[in-house]
Chains A and B, each alone.
Chain A
Amino acid sequence: SQTIHQWPATLVQPVGSPLSLECTVEGTSNPNLYWYRQAAGRGLQLLFYSVGIGQISSEVPQNLSASRPQDRQFILSSKKLLLSDSGFYLCAWSADRGNSPLHFGNGTRLTVT
């Protein structure tokens, strides 16, 4: 069966520090991969998605970046965190079919101080 792992679960970082959040998927190949941010207010903001290795689409211009160095690995990064980067970050995967749901990781709670 397929599983998705996202870490760390919580992170407290000072303003200006770098960030690296990692997500890996097991049990499937060539998944679509997604990074979402959820601020207080519950809405989901799509940050990046990827349909293949090295293919990254950015939905929101900001100081975050994403990379997909391997088929089932998706990394969210920042060189210098801002206070506004605080939030709940969710990684997800899906098959590239219209009826395929998203499968989410357990999320990373990031607090920038």
Chain B
Amino acid sequence: GNSVTQMEGPVTLSEEAFLTINCTYTATGYPSLFWYVQYPGEGLQLLLKATKADDKGSNKGFEATYRKETTSFHLEKGSVQVSDSAVYFCALSDRASGGSYIPTFGRGTSLIVHP
């Protein structure tokens, strides 16, 4: 079956530091890949996505590149801010045996940014 593995947190950084959150996946098909962000007490929001190999998704200074050869989709940001403190989820969407697209989520990585 499909699975998503992302690094355990929490990740603790100082403001303006470089961020990397690793994500690798296994899938039976050719999935689309997503990063979501969850702020405290809220639902998840789409941060960025990529739908085919070598695509780069980007949003709000965050980037991730779909690497099919390494089955990875690592999230990066060059300079984090305190407001980036949240939980980040890596996810894939692949066609299930019944024909519909069912998402698979990683366990989430908490990011804490200090001033």
Among A13-21, A65-73, A77-85, A104-112, which stretch is in contact with chain B?
A: A104-112
CB distance from A94 to the nearest CB of B (A): 7
Residues in A whose Cβ lies below 8 Å from that of B91: 102
Whether A43 contacts B108 by the Cβ 8 Å rule is yes
Residues in B whose Cβ lies below 8 Å from that of A32: 100-101
Whether A98 contacts B102 by the Cβ 8 Å rule is no
> With the chains together, A109 CA to B40 CA distance in Å?
12
**Does A62 lie at the interface of the complex (its beta carbon under 8 Å from any beta carbon of B)?**
no
- A42 with B107, Cβ < 8 A, contacts A98-B31, A99-B49 known: yes
Residues in B whose Cβ lies below 8 Å from that of A104: 43-45
Number of A-B contacts (CB under 8 A): 69
Whether B93 contacts A99 by the Cβ 8 Å rule is yes
- Interface size, chain B (Cβ < 8 Å): 28
Whether B105 contacts A44 by the Cβ 8 Å rule is yes
Chain A 26-64 interface residues, beta-carbon cutoff 8 Å to B:
32, 34, 41-44, 46, 49, 51, 57
**Does B84 lie at the interface of the complex (its beta carbon under 8 Å from any beta carbon of A)?**
no
Contact residue range for chain A?
20 to 34
Q: Give 1 or 0 for each of B83-95: 1 = CB within 8 Å of chain A CB.
A: 0000101010111
**Does B22 lie at the interface of the complex (its beta carbon under 8 Å from any beta carbon of A)?**
no
Whether B102 contacts A49 by the Cβ 8 Å rule is yes
Whether B44 contacts A90 by the Cβ 8 Å rule is yes
Specify which of A46, A51, A90 is in contact with B100 (CB 8 Å cutoff). A51
> With the chains together, A41 CA to B106 CA distance in Å?
12
Whether A101 contacts B101 by the Cβ 8 Å rule is no
Interface residues of B (CB under 8 A from A): 31-32, 34, 36, 38, 41-46, 49, 51, 87, 89, 91, 93-95, 98, 100-103, 105, 107-108, 110
